[in-house]
């Protein structure tokens, strides 16, 4: 995946167009509003468990944070 992204970015720098929607979907995500979102049932379970214990789930980092000043 990283190699494909690096190759795509290198191609873009050389003047080739990069279809970010296709790239995102190839990685198992969906592209909307300028953002590639990958969300799996495992991530949903992690978010649910984190929030049930008073944490804030950071999906991009796949971590559960506590004491971030939320309600």
pLDDT of residue 37: 81
d(CA 34, CA 21): 9
Domain boundaries, the chain: 1-37, 39-71
15: tokens are 């003047």
pLDDT tens digits, one per residue of 25-64? 877 778 888 888 877 788 889 999 999 999 998 877 788 9
Query: Which pTM value belongs to this model?
Result: 0.47
Say whether 31 sits in a helix, a strand or coil. Answer: strand
Q: Is 46 exposed, middle or buried (0-12, 13-18, 19+ CB in 10 A)?
A: middle
- Tokens 């290198």, located at residue: 10
pLDDT tops 70 at residue 7: no
């Amino acid at each position: 995946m990283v190699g494909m992204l690096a190759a795509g970015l290198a191609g873009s720098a050389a003047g080739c167009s990069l279809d970010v929607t296709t790239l995102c979907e190839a990685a198992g995500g969906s592209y909307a509003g300028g953002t590639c979102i990958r969300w799996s049932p495992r991530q949903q379970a992690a978010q649910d468990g984190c929030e049930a214990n008073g944490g804030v789930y950071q999906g991009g980092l796949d971590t559960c944070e506590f004491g971030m000043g939320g309600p």
